[in-house]
């Protein structure tokens, strides 16, 4: 049976391994992870009754991949839906004040976030020409697309907040086609983003009616009662001894005969493999490939990452005068504040804090404030406490704190990203049995990662699955 080596035991690597094993139960699997634990950026910690997520706080059900994975792993009965208030109530902090984001056309008309001219520009979106100005670059930034479709005010507040909340990135630098591909797709197919959204909604409702089902509900955020760490634990349990932590892959060589590949690790250990899947972040993939294919490695190394600090704060409810019924708030990147935003974790999911307490996660740094990571823990906590006093009117000191630093946190799909990915995929096609995936290429969300992992596992099974002969060497 073929031997598959997977480098990286984050959600992507664990899911590739799990799906490969489903397709090919007898295949040999080896997963190499440089850290002393699996899960990548996903991690759940317990501290004196506080349940802390050190990375993602949950996942959306707007794609089927994650929910299907939970079903297949037998975790459906442990899923926990986010509160209704967290879905409806989201805020931005601008002009030294907290504002609720509008969630309906009436809300847009009445929101104080936009001037009359700003509201008019936004409401004119369905009637704007979809023809781009002459001389426009082929790959448009999110900000340029937003100004053209929605006007400057809506872009500076709403789109900036969206980009900050998901990518902690700069809308002037990020590619709209790579980051939010549906937006230019709606414009191309329907002449308007709003018309595209409405048409897609109608199609989903019609499809549900044809199946005899009720209309699909709006997307919702999910986790597990015990936190996202449950997902990693269950995947790890299914893989058993296939997973080797504390092993850092450093190089890849191609062999003229079978087995086709050799993965080399620090300390001199190596593994021969029929197929290799690199699921670790791009900044780790590039040095592994540097000697084997310098051009491929350079393309991968050009994908930038930002820097993020997660500051976890637990307060007494009596020290928080404002009611908390919502997801939290974002301070758009253009405000250049110390804190990018705050998730009200104990309002989103119950039991994240002990009785009488609240748990928040302040996100700091991002592409425009990387300097925040250079401060020590005490400096970061002081900055966060000042923000909590200003924004939320918090009185008193936190009773619990935890600082988590991510010096290479989220890949940034800057202008030219799609073309770069196309180039590296064309070059990668020269080598049978070598696969790249993870959040560096086709989406940063958990849903995106799981979906791409499933695609890779299916491709491997199509070539190496039961009844298939091992392909001839072509490296």
- For 223-266, the DSSP string reads EETT-THHHHHHHHHHHGGGEEES--EEEEEE-SSSS-EEEEEG
Give the whole-angstrom CA distance, residue 212 versus residue 29.
Answer: 42
E strand or H helix at 276: strand 275-278
Give the whole-angstrom CA distance, residue 31 versus residue 263.
Answer: 11
Token pair recorded at residue 303: 């994908």
Give the whole-angstrom CA distance, residue 242 versus residue 87.
Answer: 39
CA-angle at 383, arms to 382 and 385, nearest 5°: 65
E strand or H helix at 371: none
Give the whole-angstrom CA distance, residue 467 versus residue 188.
Answer: 43
Q: Is 163 helix (H, G, I), strand (E, B) or coil?
A: helix
- Between the alpha carbon of residue 213 and those of residues 117, 205, 221, 335, the distances in Å are 42, 9, 21, 45
What pLDDT does 468 receive? Answer: 64
Token pair recorded at residue 94: 């601008």
Give the whole-angstrom CA distance, residue 80 versus residue 349.
Answer: 8
What is the number of residues in the chain?
475
> For the whole model, what pTM was predicted?
0.94
Query: Which alpha helices (DSSP H) does 302-437 contain, by range?
Result: 345-348, 377-392, 417-428
Domain 3-41+226-304+414-464 CATH (choose: 3.30.1330.40, 3.30.70.1880, 3.50.50.60, 3.30.565.10): 3.50.50.60
Give the whole-angstrom CA distance, residue 366 versus residue 384.
Answer: 15
Written as tens digits, the pLDDT of the chain (475 aa) is 899 999 999 999 999 999 999 999 999 999 999 999 999 999 999 999 999 999 999 999 989 999 999 999 999 999 999 999 998 999 999 998 999 999 887 888 899 999 999 999 999 999 998 887 776 778 999 999 999 999 999 999 999 999 999 999 999 999 999 999 999 999 999 999 999 999 999 999 999 999 998 988 888 999 999 999 999 999 999 988 789 999 999 999 998 877 789 999 999 999 999 999 999 999 999 999 999 999 999 999 999 999 999 999 999 999 998 878 899 999 988 888 889 999 999 999 988 999 999 999 999 999 988 999 999 999 999 999 999 999 999 999 999 999 999 999 999 999 999 999 999 999 999 999 999 999 999 999 999 999 999 999 999 999 987 766 555 544 4
Q: Is 302 helix (H, G, I), strand (E, B) or coil?
A: coil
Spell out the domain ranges in the chain: 3-41+226-304+414-464
């Amino acid at each position: 049976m073929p031997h598959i080596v997977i480098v990286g035991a984050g959600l992507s690597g664990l899911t590739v391994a799990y799906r490969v094993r489903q397709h090919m139960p007898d295949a040999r699997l080896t997963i190499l992870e440089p850290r002393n634990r699996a899960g990548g950026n996903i991690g759940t910690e317990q501290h004196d009754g506080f349940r802390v997520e050190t990375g993602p706080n949950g996942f959306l059900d707007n794609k089927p991949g994650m929910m299907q994975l939970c079903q297949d792993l037998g975790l459906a009965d442990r899923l926990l839906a986010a509160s209704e208030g967290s879905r409806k109530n989201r805020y931005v902090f601008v002009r030294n004040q907290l504002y609720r984001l509008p969630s309906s056309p009436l809300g847009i008309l009445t929101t104080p976030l936009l001037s009359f001219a700003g509201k008019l520009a936004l409401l004119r979106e369905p009637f704007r020409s979809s023809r781009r100005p002459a001389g426009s670059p082929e790959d448009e930034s999110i900000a340029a697309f937003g100004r053209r479709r929605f006007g400057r005010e809506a872009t500076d507040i709403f789109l900036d907040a969206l980009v900050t909340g998901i990518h902690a990135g700069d809308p002037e630098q990020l590619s709209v086609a790579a980051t939010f591909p549906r937006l230019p797709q709606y414009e191309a197919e329907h002449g308007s983003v709003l018309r595209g959204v409405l048409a897609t909604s109608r199609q989903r409702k019609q499809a549900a009616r044809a199946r005899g089902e009720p209309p699909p509900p709006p997307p919702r955020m999910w986790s597990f009662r015990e936190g996202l760490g449950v997902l990693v634990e269950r995947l790890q349990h299914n893989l058993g001894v296939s997973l080797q932590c504390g092993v850092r892959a450093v190089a890849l060589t191609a062999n003229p005969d079978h087995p086709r590949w050799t993965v080399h690790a620090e300390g001199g250990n190596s593994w021969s493999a029929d197929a290799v899947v690199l699921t670790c972040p791009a900044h780790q993939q590039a040095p592994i490939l540097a000697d084997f294919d310098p051009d491929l490695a350079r393309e991968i190394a050009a994908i930038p990452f930002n820097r993020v600090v997660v500051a976890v704060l637990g307060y007494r409810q009596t020290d928080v005068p404002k009611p908390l019924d919502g997801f939290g708030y974002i301070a758009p990147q253009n405000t250049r504040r110390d804190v990018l935003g705050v998730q009200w974790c104990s309002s989103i999911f119950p039991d994240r804090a002990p009785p009488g307490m609240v748990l928040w996660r302040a996100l700091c740094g991002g592409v425009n404030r990387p300097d925040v990571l250079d401060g020590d823990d005490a400096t970061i906590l002081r900055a966060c406490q000042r923000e909590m006093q200003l924004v939320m009117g918090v009185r008193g000191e936190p009773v619990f704190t935890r600082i988590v630093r991510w010096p290479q946190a989220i890949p940034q799909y800057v202008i030219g990203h799609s073309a770069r990915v196309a180039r590296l995929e064309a070059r990668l096609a020269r080598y049978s049995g070598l696969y790249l995936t993870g959040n560096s290429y086709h989406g940063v969300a958990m849903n995106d990662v799981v979906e791409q992992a499933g695609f890779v596992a299916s491709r491997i099974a199509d070539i190496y699955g039961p009844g298939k002969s091992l392909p001839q060497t072509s490296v």
